[in-house]
């Protein structure tokens, strides 16, 4: 005896309509999407500034033979600054969600944001139907921020490992 389950897949317009019905008139979600766009822009600029500063310091240090190894210290400072930027973003997300009173307390909100931002998703956080898209938004924010950071750190590491000892930095 076979128990076959037959179901039809919804069309894209049907899926989008159902999502819109779930979200309803939740204007706060649109504000959160705007916040996410601003946050990604700020993160991109911050990472660009950190990477540019690293490359400028690296070029300067390469021109001084006995300080060439100091570039590794500036690389680790760049890593620290980028990590602090991510922590600041998790805290900013926390305060935005606290303002909308999605969770009863700030620590539960912080843990939720941290898990979604890092895409860990370990905890069980019940959300109202109009907020169920929130983890997707926070996760996208974290994925794109980490990707930007990773690309910048890769570029910085490349500058460190591809040069010859005692050589001046190539002009960019």
DSSP state letter for 131: G
The reported pTM is 0.81
Residue 47 within a domain: yes
| 21-78 pLDDT tens trace | 877 787 888 899 999 999 999 999 999 999 999 999 888 887 787 776 778 888 999 9
Residue 44 within a domain: yes
Residue 33 within a domain: yes
Residue 4 within a domain: no
Residue 132 within a domain: yes
Which residues form the domain of 110?
A: 26-161
Residue 169 within a domain: no
8 Å CB contact between 129 and 22? yes
Residue 59 within a domain: yes
What is the spatial distance between Cα 60 and Cα 47, in angstroms, rounded to a whole number?
A: 20
Residue 114 within a domain: yes
Number of domains present in the structure of the chain:
1
């Amino acid at each position: 005896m076979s128990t076959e389950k037959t179901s039809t897949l919804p069309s894209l317009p049907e899926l989008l309509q159902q999502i819109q019905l779930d979200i309803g008139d939740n204007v706060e979600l649109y504000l959160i999407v705007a916040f996410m766009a601003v946050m990604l822009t700020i993160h991109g600029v911050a990472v660009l500034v950190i990477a540019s500063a690293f490359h400028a310091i690296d070029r300067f240090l390469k021109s001084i033979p006995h300080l060439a190894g100091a570039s590794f210290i500036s690389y680790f400072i760049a890593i620290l600054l980028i990590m602090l930027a991510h922590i600041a973003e998790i805290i900013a997300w926390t305060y935005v969600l606290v303002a909308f009173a999605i969770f009863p307390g700030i620590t539960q909100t912080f843990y939720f944001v941290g898990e979604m931002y890092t895409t860990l998703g370990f905890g069980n956080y019940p959300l109202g139907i109009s907020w169920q898209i929130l983890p997707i938004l926070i996760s996208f924010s974290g994925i794109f921020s980490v990707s930007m950071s990773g690309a910048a750190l890769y570029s910085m590491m490349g500058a460190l490992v591809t040069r010859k000892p005692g050589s001046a930095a190539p002009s960019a």
